[in-house]
Chains A and B, each alone.
Chain A
Amino acid sequence: MAEHMPVDKTFKLFIGGAFPRSESGRTFQLHSADGKLLANAAKASRKDLREAVKAARGAQAGWAGRTAYNRGQVLYRVAEVMESRKAEFTSVLREMGQTARTARSEVDRSIDRWVWYAGWADKVHQVLGTVNPVAGPYFNFTFPEPTGVVVVASPDDPPLLGLLSRLAPVIVSGNTAVVATGGAAALAAVTLAEVLATSDVPGGVVNILTGDKAELLPWALGHMDVNSVDLTGAPDGLADDAVAAAADNVKRIVRADPAGASPHMIGDFLEMKTVWHPIGR
């Protein structure tokens, strides 16, 4: 019997639930920490970003329209699939130069982080929503709504925990996300894409672009159909006027601790709606 010939994985983008190559046909090389060539990954262009935003916009109303409980269940399901792929995530982090021990620990903490945010799905409204005391015959209350389409610049370090810690608070409330990732951290993102594609997350809720964040982010910041950009993982030297362009459609610009966890990090991607309801007698 012939010897098995290994089938290497092609590293592609993740847009609208599908795995396309970049429309530009470009690739970039992914290297392990010891310099070994791991793969040629797709290098996303501004047009791929445009398509990803379109997919995210298309999926947003349906995702936000699900019950908070259901969104939480979908995220739990992602954690289940990650749990069964722990070995793969660990080996990805090992390729990036982590020791077996730290790699295992980061994978465990990443799954824990994701589950922790999944639990917030049907609790964040109670914590961040308020009933406001007002001087008048009104019942006045404020409740959070998702802001819309969020572009997330994924942190390079920690590669997996950073990605999950920034992505989970975006989508748990009903936003949809376009993740921009580059360098070796793209390995973790591509592996996550396969998890998302095989769990119950609807296509378009999370889109992943690998390539050069410095190239993609100015287009995201200028894009009029993007509601928020998380610059936590943005590279240094992003021009001030590129960030200022975000003001044209009043995007929320977020910068946070790349590995932090807080319900207020969910709040960063929420809009607060206040309702004055007359009280009759």
Chain B
Amino acid sequence: MTASPAFLPTTGGGPVRTTPVDAVALEARAAALCTRSIKTTSKRAALHTTIRCIDLTTLEGTDTPGKVASLCQKAIKPDPSDPTVPSVAAVCVYPEMVEHAVEATTGTGVAVASVAGAFPAGMSAPAVRVADIVDAVGRGAGEIDIVLNRSAFLSGDLGRAHDEIAAAKDACGASHLKVILETGELGSYDQVRRASMLAMAAGADFIKTSTGKIPKAATHPMILNMAEAIRDYADQTGVVVGLKGAGGIRTSKQAWHHLVIVGETLGSAWLTPERFRLGASSLLNDVLMQLQKLDTGRYSGPDYVTVD
């Protein structure tokens, strides 16, 4: 492996180092953490934590104001028959849908996140991408999800990849910036670790695994890898960065294995929506079915949750 570059954090301080990744040990540790069983007495807490950390997402060309409105209702009250079930952290939509989401969620505690910056490929001119972000913020998005410039990153132009994220951070203003690395396109754990450090140094408030638009997405080793990068970054700079897993997280079991990995790597302080998110759409229904099973002692089915 070539020597890892050191990135200068935009927040000041000395350069941050990138720790090389032992791929075998990383996968072994992730696999070991995924054998952890959640006992019955803790299940409800794990499921509620999962819900509180969900970014309920719809990113389809077929999205309509009506569909976004119903998604928001589900985000606010995932199970209308059970008031103890918490709201999700945020809804995540395309910029065009932000106003409808803001209208539906104002005053409920559910945040509105918007993808921006020519999501999902990011292959537009820098000025266009910044304008996209400014537009989404102007529509009321409190959180902005952008993609890393993989084209620049993979061709070795790390400076450009870094500066574009920094420019995006400026464009966000007070809104939170989540940077999607699209881990499935970066090729190796080392590359992901490097991209994580780059994004954090450039000012990302969250680093996020994937767009959800390609098949390889939020695997458990990848979440562990990025959690370790966040721990490294916090150790070196004292800056706290959040983690968002997205793409392919469909079952409660997958989700709480992510919780275990993050909890064991970063500590339970990270198991809050301020520092950890799960971008998902079908996951919420699976969690609701698990809660129904806890309540009734019987297995539930898709007939007893909404069709989204």
Q: Is the CB of A53 within 8 A of B302?
A: no
For residue A166, CB closer than 8 A to chain B, the reply is no
A176 to chain B, nearest CB (A): 13
**Chain B: CB-nearest residue to A220:** B299
**Chain A: CB-nearest residue to B304:** A224
For residue A252, CB closer than 8 A to chain B, the reply is no
Interface of A is mostly: helix
Q: Given B292, B299, B302, B304, which contacts A50 in the complex, CB threshold below 8 Å?
A: B299
Q: Is the CB of A225 within 8 A of B297?
A: no
Query: What separation, in Å, do the CA atoms of A257 and B297 have in the docked complex?
Result: 32
Residues of chain A within 8 A of B299, CB atoms compared:
50, 53, 219, 222-225
Residues of chain A within 8 A of B292, CB atoms compared:
224
Residues of chain A within 8 A of B304, CB atoms compared:
224
Residues of chain B within 8 A of A113, CB atoms compared:
none
A54 to chain B, nearest CB (A): 9
Query: What separation, in Å, do the CA atoms of A224 and B299 have in the docked complex?
Result: 6
Query: What separation, in Å, do the CA atoms of A188 and B175 have in the docked complex?
Result: 64
B:86-140 near A, CB below 8 Å: none
For residue A272, CB closer than 8 A to chain B, the reply is no
Query: What separation, in Å, do the CA atoms of A110 and B247 have in the docked complex?
Result: 48
A:180-232 near B, CB below 8 Å: 219, 222-226
Render B280-308 as a binary contact track against A, CB cut-off 8 A, 1 for contact: 00000000000010000111111110000
B121 to chain A, nearest CB (A): 32
For residue A261, CB closer than 8 A to chain B, the reply is no
**Chain B: CB-nearest residue to A245:** B298
Query: What separation, in Å, do the CA atoms of A245 and B302 have in the docked complex?
Result: 18
For residue A77, CB closer than 8 A to chain B, the reply is no
Residues of chain B within 8 A of A53, CB atoms compared:
299, 301
Q: Is the CB of A224 within 8 A of B297?
A: no
Query: What separation, in Å, do the CA atoms of A85 and B300 have in the docked complex?
Result: 39
Query: What separation, in Å, do the CA atoms of A237 and B302 have in the docked complex?
Result: 31
For residue A71, CB closer than 8 A to chain B, the reply is no
Scoring B298, B300, B302 by chain A CB atoms within 10 A of each residue's CB, the highest score goes to B298
Please report the total number of A residues contacting B with Cβ < 8 Å.
12
A269 to chain B, nearest CB (A): 18
B254 to chain A, nearest CB (A): 15
Q: Is the CB of B302 within 8 A of A223?
A: no
Residues of chain A within 8 A of B297, CB atoms compared:
222
Residues of chain B within 8 A of A50, CB atoms compared:
299
Residues of chain A within 8 A of B301, CB atoms compared:
53, 57, 223-226
Query: What separation, in Å, do the CA atoms of A225 and B303 have in the docked complex?
Result: 7
Residues of chain B within 8 A of A226, CB atoms compared:
301
Query: What separation, in Å, do the CA atoms of A150 and B39 have in the docked complex?
Result: 31
Query: What separation, in Å, do the CA atoms of A224 and B289 have in the docked complex?
Result: 10
**Chain B: CB-nearest residue to A53:** B299
Query: What separation, in Å, do the CA atoms of A183 and B303 have in the docked complex?
Result: 34
Query: What separation, in Å, do the CA atoms of A223 and B297 have in the docked complex?
Result: 9
Render B191-222 as a binary contact track against A, CB cut-off 8 A, 1 for contact: 00000000000000000000000000000000
Query: What separation, in Å, do the CA atoms of A134 and B279 have in the docked complex?
Result: 54
B55 to chain A, nearest CB (A): 26
Render B159-171 as a binary contact track against A, CB cut-off 8 A, 1 for contact: 0000000000000
Query: What separation, in Å, do the CA atoms of A151 and B297 have in the docked complex?
Result: 19
B39 to chain A, nearest CB (A): 15
Residues of chain B within 8 A of A222, CB atoms compared:
297-299
Query: What separation, in Å, do the CA atoms of A219 and B298 have in the docked complex?
Result: 7
Residues of chain A within 8 A of B298, CB atoms compared:
219, 222-224, 245, 248
Query: What separation, in Å, do the CA atoms of A219 and B303 have in the docked complex?
Result: 18
A:46-83 near B, CB below 8 Å: 50, 53, 57
A275 to chain B, nearest CB (A): 23
Residues of chain A within 8 A of B303, CB atoms compared:
224-225, 249
A22 to chain B, nearest CB (A): 16
Query: What separation, in Å, do the CA atoms of A219 and B297 have in the docked complex?
Result: 9
B290 to chain A, nearest CB (A): 11
Residues of chain B within 8 A of A249, CB atoms compared:
303
Query: What separation, in Å, do the CA atoms of A174 and B233 have in the docked complex?
Result: 56
**Chain B: CB-nearest residue to A50:** B299
**Chain B: CB-nearest residue to A249:** B303
Scoring B297, B298, B299, B304 by chain A CB atoms within 10 A of each residue's CB, the highest score goes to B299
A170 to chain B, nearest CB (A): 18
A274 to chain B, nearest CB (A): 22
Render B54-75 as a binary contact track against A, CB cut-off 8 A, 1 for contact: 0000000000000000000000
Query: What separation, in Å, do the CA atoms of A224 and B292 have in the docked complex?
Result: 10
A248 to chain B, nearest CB (A): 8
A30 to chain B, nearest CB (A): 28
A-B contact list, 10 entries, CB within 8 Å: A50-B299, A219-B299, A223-B298, A224-B304, A225-B299, A225-B300, A225-B302, A226-B301, A245-B298, A249-B303
Nearest first, the 10 closest Cβ-Cβ pairs linking A and B are: A225-B301, A222-B298, A223-B299, A224-B301, A224-B300, A50-B299, A224-B304, A224-B298, A223-B298, A224-B299
B binding-site residues for A, Cβ under 8 Å: 292, 297-304
Q: A57-B301, A219-B299, A224-B292 are in contact. List 19 more A-B contacts (CB 8 A).
A: A50-B299, A53-B299, A219-B298, A222-B297, A222-B298, A222-B299, A223-B298, A223-B301, A224-B298, A224-B299, A224-B300, A224-B301, A225-B299, A225-B300, A225-B301, A225-B302, A225-B303, A226-B301, A248-B298
